[in-house]
Amino acid sequence: MKKACLLPISFFLTALVHAQTASVPPATPQYRPAYHFTPAAHWMNDPNGMVYYQGTYHLFFQYFPGGMTWGPMHWGHATTTDLVSWQEQPIALYSDSLGYIFSGSAVIDAHNTAGFGPNAMVAIFTHHNPKAEKAGLTTFENQSLAYSLDAGKTWTKYAGNPVLKNSGIKDFRDPKVSWNAAAKKWVMTLATLDHITFYSSPNLKDWTKESEFGQKLGAHGGVWECPDLFPLMLGGQTYYVLIVNVNPGGPNGGSATQYFVGNFDGHAFTPLNEQTKWADFGPDEYAGVTWDNTSTRRLFLGWMSNWEYANQAPTSPWRSATTVPRELALQRIGAEIYLASQPAKEVSKLFPKPTTLGAFNVGNTYDLSAKLKNTGDKYELKLTTRQLASFSLVVSNSKGEELMIGYDKAANNYFIDRRKAGLTNFSPMFAGRHTAPRLATVPAADMRLLFDATSVEVFADHGLTVMTELFFPTAPLTKLTLKATDGLTLQELTYSKVTVATK
């Protein structure tokens, strides 16, 4: 959507000059993922305007076509019909006299409430005026509209922009809009510095403030950004989930996605409790939001990076990728309700030829590579056990580089350690051992791990605990070893390489 918000504007102006003048570093095709979306070239960050229409999932995203670091924001565009094979499209929205095109959302205006035309695809986004920001004004971010009458191919900006003007809040952005059927109106969830402000509209053009939420709740290590509000069912009851991305202040440093579960009556959001919860505990999922117009299905996508080092990541000629699309659901553990996420069912078609190992004891060391043979760096690994114990999965290469993923029973947490997993000197903030609490309370456990060249996404306990992590080895990490000093029995282990080319 934009930038690391607590840094001065001079930082970003310097980055912009550098982006426009620096030569492109040597290409790194070995780091290009096979099944996570990346632009062919240049800078990408937050997912924007995600909407489903006539069999196609649209992904718009923050994009700077002039370099490989953050710069004047545009809306890039990509589409998919199956959530795994992506086609990059021409840029959808360009910067203009009102400013850069920061984050926002898109809807299908089925009833032509805005008057642009039946089933118009309408983008609601933040105009960010860099001149006003540099001049010290606080009203440099305002909400605007654009519309498409040809399913997102071409766009027209509304002549009456902006439709929601800033009253004096420095960080006033990232409108996530959806139709509230019960209230029969559009509801905008807007990030406003350190809280969320809800607005409503009958026509996407005229907005009325409804309520505020969160100034003294949740994580406040940084500015609140990229919110989302949507209903989910659990046990026959409808709850609302409010996603709020925060930067910095994540559980493992830097950017992260928190959420609240509660109720929304068309005017105000009321949380069930004040507990801070995280959608992803890893350091490399941020700005995650969901697709609109998918009926009862709720699909989530995040930016796979962290503002602490995003501009320095050692990839070329592109920077950044998205997570895999994730299906969201609610789970109750004791008295608490949690948001769980797992790879969308379509992701499974990438792994059609699994190798399965039956029940076996891990012991001190178990060489998986010898059992699996011809392992690569783009694959899915599934583990199940009836009695979870401390263990680590070591993914390594002949150069001594290794990524460690596992569970620490004494601390009752999952972990990923990338301190020895390859390049780390591009940023002092990158190397580290990151942890996530185990929320499940039963002895049995399952883990699903998706590896794709330089990333791993870990979904544990049916998606109750999720971690996303980047790493940059100097040679592919293709050796797999399990270690469990106190013993671990796995009921099943399944390994499957990616066999569907998506790039």
What DSSP assignment string belongs to 271-340?
ES----EES--STT-EEEEE-BS-TT--EEEEESS-TTTGGG-S-SSEE--B---EEEEEEEETTEEEEE
Looking at the fold, whether 404 and 446 belong to one and the same domain comes out as: yes
Range of the domain at 286: 9-21+42-343
Quote the pLDDT of residue 20.
45
Q: Which of 46, 280, 417, 452 is catalytic?
A: 46
Looking at the fold, whether 296 and 376 belong to one and the same domain comes out as: no
Q: How many domains does the chain have?
A: 2
For 229-251, how does the pLDDT look when each residue is reduced to its tens digit (9 = 90+)? 999 999 999 999 999 999 999 99
CA–CA distance, 26 with 116 (Å, rounded to integer): 46
DSSP letter at 1 equals -
Looking at the fold, whether 172 and 49 belong to one and the same domain comes out as: yes
Looking at the fold, whether 231 and 329 belong to one and the same domain comes out as: yes
User: What CATH number did the domain enclosing 222 receive?
Assistant: 2.115.10.20
Looking at the fold, whether 400 and 267 belong to one and the same domain comes out as: no
Quote the pLDDT of residue 54.
97
Looking at the fold, whether 273 and 319 belong to one and the same domain comes out as: yes
CA–CA distance, 101 with 74 (Å, rounded to integer): 5
Tokens of 192: 């406003």
Q: How confident is the model at residue 363 (pLDDT cuts 50, 70, 90)?
A: confident
For residue 283, give the amino acid letter.
Answer: P
Q: For 411-422, what is the mean pLDDT? A: 98
CA–CA distance, 110 with 181 (Å, rounded to integer): 12
Looking at the fold, whether 395 and 333 belong to one and the same domain comes out as: no
Question: Is residue 483 situated within a structural domain?
Answer: yes
Looking at the fold, whether 366 and 330 belong to one and the same domain comes out as: no
Q: For 37-41, what is the mean pLDDT? A: 98
Q: How confident is the model at residue 6 (pLDDT cuts 50, 70, 90)?
A: very low
Quote the pLDDT of residue 374.
81
Q: Report the residue count for the chain.
A: 503
Phi, psi (rounded to 5 degrees) for 501: -75, 130
Looking at the fold, whether 364 and 318 belong to one and the same domain comes out as: no
Given 343, 377, 394, the domain boundary residue is 343
Q: For 258-279, what is the mean pLDDT? A: 97
Looking at the fold, whether 317 and 361 belong to one and the same domain comes out as: no
Question: Is residue 34 situated within a structural domain?
Answer: no
Question: Is residue 289 situated within a structural domain?
Answer: yes
Question: Is residue 29 situated within a structural domain?
Answer: no
Q: Please give the C-alpha separations between residue 62 and each of 32, 50, 385, in angstroms, as whole numbers.
A: 19, 12, 41
User: What CATH number did the domain enclosing 469 receive?
Assistant: 2.60.120.560
Q: What is the 3-class SS of 181-226, one letter each residue?
A: CCCCEEEEEEEECCEEEEEEECCCCCCEEEEEECCCCCCCCCEEEE
Q: For the chain, give the mean pLDDT.
A: 94
Given 343, 372, 399, the domain boundary residue is 343
Given 343, 374, 395, the domain boundary residue is 343
Looking at the fold, whether 247 and 288 belong to one and the same domain comes out as: yes
Listed range (5-19, 264-278, 389-403, 471-485) with the worst mean pLDDT: 5-19
CA–CA distance, 78 with 84 (Å, rounded to integer): 12
Question: Is residue 2 situated within a structural domain?
Answer: no
Report DSSP letters for 166-181, one per residue: -SS-SSEEEEEEEEET
Q: In the predicted model, is pLDDT for residue 22 greater than 70?
A: no
CA–CA distance, 272 with 274 (Å, rounded to integer): 7
Question: Is residue 85 situated within a structural domain?
Answer: yes
Q: In the predicted model, is pLDDT for residue 10 greater than 50?
A: no
Looking at the fold, whether 414 and 319 belong to one and the same domain comes out as: no
- Mention every residue, 6+ apart, whose C-beta is less than 8 A from residue 37: 59, 78, 80, 86, 321, 322
Question: Is residue 27 situated within a structural domain?
Answer: no
CA–CA distance, 114 with 77 (Å, rounded to integer): 23
SS3 assignment, position 94: coil
- Mention every residue, 6+ apart, whose C-beta is less than 8 A from residue 373: none
Question: Is residue 229 situated within a structural domain?
Answer: yes
Quote the pLDDT of residue 168.
94
For 194-211, how does the pLDDT look when each residue is reduced to its tens digit (9 = 90+)? 999 999 999 999 999 999
DSSP letter at 130 equals H
| 46 part of the active site | yes
Tell me, yes or no, if the pTM score tops 0.85: yes
Please choose, from the candidates 377, 368, 367, the residue with its C-alpha nearest in 3D space to the C-alpha of residue 474: 377
